[in-house]
Structure 1
Amino acid sequence: MALSVLDLLSVGIGPSSSHTVGPMRAAKQFTDGLASSGQLPATVRVQAELFGSLGATGRGHGSDKAVVLGLQGHAPETVDTRTADDQVAAAALDAELRLGGNHRVDFNWDEDVVLHRRKSLPAHPNGMTFRALDHTGTVLRERSYYSIGGGFVVDGDVTGTEKIVPDTTVLPYPFTTGDELLAICEREGKSISDIMLANELVWRSEEELRERLLGIWAVMRECVDNGCSAEGILPGGLSVRRRAPSLFKKLADAEAANSSDPLLAMEWVNLFALAVNEENAAGGRIVTAPTNGAAGIVPAVLHYYTKFVPGADDDGVVRFLLAAAAVGILFKINASISGAEVGCQGEVGSACSMAAAGLCEVLGGTPRQVENAAEVGIEHNLGLTCDPVGGLVQIPCIERNAIASVKAINAARLALHGDGSHKVSLDKAIKTMRETGADMKSKYKETSRGGLAVNVVEC
């Protein structure tokens, strides 16, 4: 099974990769299947049922809206984030869907998109079932899908152990563990980003890869810019005020005044993360890195690199993203990046680890130092629960990204002060994360039935 950097880092829509991006992709996949099988013309109604974590927190994560958009042919990468809510509202008001963008069917919001708060499908907490019916009520097509984190979707034939998109591409330097990756680097005399680059060239040219990665970086920058300028209250009912615009003004003023504040760089990192995750919470355009709930960490640390590290350039940005993705692949293969499966340690924890690795790489770290940085990043997020207040990716998610971004920078710098040798390997830390997630009660895994979600009932 082969994974690309572009699998781990993809352009999408907020507020959640598993609860918004995944359901939208699954719904579109279902509609595309109706079209390809010739069943679309006979379809007069479609029904969607969301289970497990999708059912429990789907309203707050916009899962129901995502399903409607996907059924109407929209993809997370290209859907107009400015009009998405209006399109969903129009479908509900007009009582009709345009399947695939053209085929009209009747639509009843309350009956045709059902969220089951206490029911689950067998293979994964994020399960959903779609059903197409003809004019007699006969089921034409029924399919179940699982949104397994980071926007990845697998169909209902998946087993509980299959966690990645099947791709049988043969890579020049295949690896499934950190130890294997380090052995390859040592044998070939290459950096982690070099190994990732060589593997990526199986799919596309270096020129195309560079263009795609810099395009992702451009989306990250635009997301920060948008977050720094968009004022007001985030949607969802918690009355959470956007903080990035006011913080941006304070930091810009301090910078213009040549402030001597020794922690100014940290404040900027906080700002970058807050800006991204406020945009995510508002349903804006973001980069899934590797999830939406943790989308601010890699961009924040990458902004730190370009703003505060002398000599930072586009080549460094590409190397940063390649090294970060190598670590993300290890989490995806050996554990999970789904908050509904292992808690927030799988989202913020893996993103922190990825960002630490990317920064260590561009600061001149050896492969063993990069692996050390990644291990520190996840080790100190082990056990992190996913308990969003109100089922919204706002509290504690937005601040959590800021804290983890600073933690990632610290992890990279700590690793650079050593020679790469350490007691706990990245592989062991990832294994521990997986086992901790398995032991974690479901109420702490994106169901909003425990932790802050029940102890903070009014905000």
Structure 2
Amino acid sequence: MPHEAISVFDMFKIGVGPSSSHTLGPWRAAMRCVDTIRAKGGLDQVLSVTVLLYGSLAKTGKGHGTDIAVMLGLCGEDPVTIDVNSIQPKIQHIQNSQQLLLGGTLNIPFILPDHLQFLHQETLPFHPNGLSFLIELKNGEHWSETYYSIGGGFVVKEGEDKNAQQTVDLPFPVNTADDLLHWCMKTGMSVHEVVMENEQAWRSEEVTRNGVLNIWHTMRDCIYRGCHTKGELPGGLQVRRRAFDLNKKLIQQNTYTDYTSWVEAIRKGGHDFKYILDWVSCFALAVNEENASFGRVVTAPTNGAAGVIPAVLQYFIAFCDGLDDEKIIRFLLTASEIGSIFKKGATISAAMGGCQAEIGVSSAMAAAALTESLGGTQRQTLMAAEIAMEHHLGLTCDPIGGLVQVPCIERNTMGAIKAITASQLALQSSPDYAKVSLDKVIKTMWDTALDMSSKYKETADGGLAIHIPISLPEC
């Protein structure tokens, strides 16, 4: 049976907030468009580039920074390496000069809103997150490129043969949870061991390990930065950062100078249930407040849900003796495999499936990873993922003002707590008596996504988005 090969580095991508589908995806699409222009004859032949945003990208693009992402992508900036403090000055320069440095080499006219249009009433048939680049050459020729941001920073080009791109044969191909369990039972390997064997189809184990640790270091730095940054989030909702105050309250008089000593200071507070609960919330809040501020985050599997997995992993580190590189690598490898199964069997795009596709999937990923990390069997690991998703089914995506702030930031705390609860339930249960399998819940999630009204799929046309009166400035 054909299988889709998805790497841990496909599920976890380093980028910039606030949205993987509305920021990172369009950014990547713009970069790909620039590469295509180069391949077709060079940037110096371009007279102008006009960008059309459709569907969900148009309806919530302002709040998600889609316009900012597209402009930076066309300039050749890389979301992995760009200095996040330089983003606003670069955008301000484009707006003031009405010029854009295409690919970092050629100045072309770029006047808003003429060259970047939000088509609120138009949606392309393949996916709600569509965008087109209209390229005009100096010799009078015109051509276009259309891309779709399908969730988690994944981008596909219209007309692209997905199967033709599939060139990696994995030793343990996995499309479903049953496939994964089959390989675990046949080989006796745990989930993370199966994943590591598959990753070696792309690269050496050493390179994979170093790359996964780099993913963790980005998550770690994001948590720490978010816990030590105060103020108000951008966008006009006037949402105040809470992680800073919560961290200060919980840490009390304990002193620290860096991340490691901070973890030690956290541990000194003990293991009271309310204390741990507050810290898990603090970790998740920190990440998604950074995400909402165009900070550097890791899609896990999306930006809107970027706080769940880091919060649960940080819980494992601080309260379960998980501060060990090997344990962290195992955690993230396991989480990535669960996420890839959801992507193959359903979706990780809120524009396709509502927030169940983001917070629900991230909670399932975290629950599975924590369960295996705490000594759970392969079947308990999959059971934990099922429990976490089962209690996110039907969760809508209704961002107020199209911003990834309310209810998105708090939902990450809920997803993290549910993941820990799901893990504990699985560890104290026998999968033999489970009534619902992970594959069944994934199928149910997809059926629910298909039934869900489009107004609850990242359009800001329903739910809290229309019941909370606000007045946002044009940006």
Q: What TM-score do the two structures reach when normalised by structure 1? A: 0.96
After superposition, what is the alpha-carbon deviation per residue over 1:8-59, rounded to whole angstroms, capped at 9, x for unaligned? 0010000000000000000111011101111421111100000000000000
* 1:427 partnered with 2:426: no
Per-residue deviation, 1:261: 4.0
- Report the counterpart of residue 354 of structure 1 in structure 2: 365
Please give the alpha-carbon distance, in whole angstroms, between the structure 1 residues aligned to 2:232 and 2:276.
27
Counterpart residue number, 1:237: 236
* Aligned match for 1:368, one of 370, 373, 379: 379
* Larger displacement relative to structure 2 (23-32 or 257-266): 257-266
Match of 2:245 in 1: 246
1:82-107 superposed Cα distances (whole Å, 9 cap, x missing partner):
11111011011111111110111111
Q: Which residue of 2 aligns with 1:112?
A: 115
CA contact (8 A) 2:251 2:269 kept: no
2:404 maps to 1:393: yes
Amino acid in structure 1 at the alignment position of 2:80: E
> d(CA) in 2 for partners of 1:384 and 1:190?
34
Q: Return the letter of the residue paired with 1:157.
A: G
Where does 1:167-186 land on structure 2 (aligned, <5 Å)?
Answer: 167-186=166-185
Identity of aligned residues (%): 49
Q: Distance in 1 between matches of 2:203 and 2:445?
A: 33
CA 1:258 to 1:13, structure 2 compared with 1: closer, same or farther past 3 Å?
closer
Cα deviation code 1:127-170 (max 9, x no counterpart): 0000111246541x3110000000000001159xx6x9942200
The whole-number CA distance in structure 1 between the counterparts of 2:51 and 2:318 is: 46
- Equivalent residues in 2 for 1:82-161 (5 A)? 82-135=85-138, 138-139=141-142, 141-157=143-159
Q: Which AA in structure 1 matches 2:428?
A: H
In structure 2, distance between residues paired with 1:240 and 1:415: 36
Structure 1 CA distance, aligned partners of 2:207 and 2:32? 26
Contact 2:15 2:79 (C-alpha < 8 Å) held by counterparts: yes
Which residue of 449, 452, 459 maps to 2:464? Answer: 452
Residue identity matched to 2:436: V
Map residues 276-287 of structure 1 onto 2, 5 A cutoff.
Answer: 276-287=287-298
Instruction: Please give the alpha-carbon distance, in whole angstroms, between the structure 2 residues aligned to 1:26 and 1:199.
Output: 27
Distance 1:26 1:311, change over 3 A: closer
Residues 43 and 103, structure 2, Cα contact 8 Å, conserved in 1: no
Residue identity matched to 1:93: N
Q: Determine the structure 1 residue equivalent to 2:257.
A: none
| CA distance in 1: counterparts of 2:373 and 2:96, whole angstroms | 51
- Per-residue CA deviation, residues 345-394 of structure 1 (Å, 9 max, x unaligned), is 00000000000001001101110000000001100000000000000000
Q: Which runs of 5+ in 2 are unaligned?
A: 255-264
**Residue 85 of structure 2 aligns to a residue in which SS?**
coil
CA distance in 2, matches of 1:236, 1:69: 19
How far is 1:302 from its partner?
0.4
Q: How does 1:48-87 map to 2 (within 5 A)?
A: 48-87=51-90
What secondary structure, in the 3-state scheme, does the structure 2 residue paired with 1:44 have? Answer: strand
1:273 and 1:151, CA in 2 relative to 1: closer, same or farther beyond 3 A?
same
Q: Which amino acid aligns with 1:239?
A: Q
1:325 is matched with: 336
Please give the secondary structure, in 1, of the residue aligned with 2:232.
Answer: coil
**RMSD between superposed Cα atoms in Å:** 1.6
Taking the aligned partners of 1:426 and 1:60, their CA distance within structure 2 comes to 34
TM-score, with length taken from structure 2: 0.93
Contact 2:346 2:445 in 1 (8 A): yes
8 Å CA contact retained: 2:368, 2:385 = yes
- Structure 1: which amino acid aligns with 2:109? D
Q: Which residue of 2 aligns with 1:13?
A: 16
Aligned amino acid, residue 450 of structure 1: G
Residue type at the aligned position of 2:402:
G
How far apart are 1:288 and its partner, in Å? 0.5
| Distance in 2, Cα, partners of 1:416 & 1:165 | 41
Structure 1 counterpart of 2:423: 412
Give the number of aligned pairs: 455
The CA distance in 1 between the partners of 2:269 and 2:205, in whole Å, is 40
The 8 Å contact of residues 154 and 165 in structure 1, kept in 2 or not, is answered as: no
Partner amino acid, structure 2, of 1:202: A
Query: Whole-Å Cα distance in 2 between the matches of residues 131 and 181 of structure 1?
Result: 43
Q: Could you tell me which amino acid in structure 2 is paired with residue 111 of structure 1?
A: D
- Secondary structure in 2 matching 1:410: helix
Match of 2:260 in 1: none
8 Å CA contact 1:128–1:146 kept in 2: the answer is yes
* Alignment of 1:25 onto 2:24: no
Could you tell me how far apart the structure 1 residues matched to 2:109 and 2:322 are?
58
- Comparing 251-260 with 238-247, greater Cα deviation is found at 251-260
The answer (yes or no) to whether the contact 2:20–2:152 under 8 Å persists in 1 is yes
Unmatched runs of 5 consecutive residues or more in structure 1: none
Q: Which amino acid aligns with 1:335?
A: A
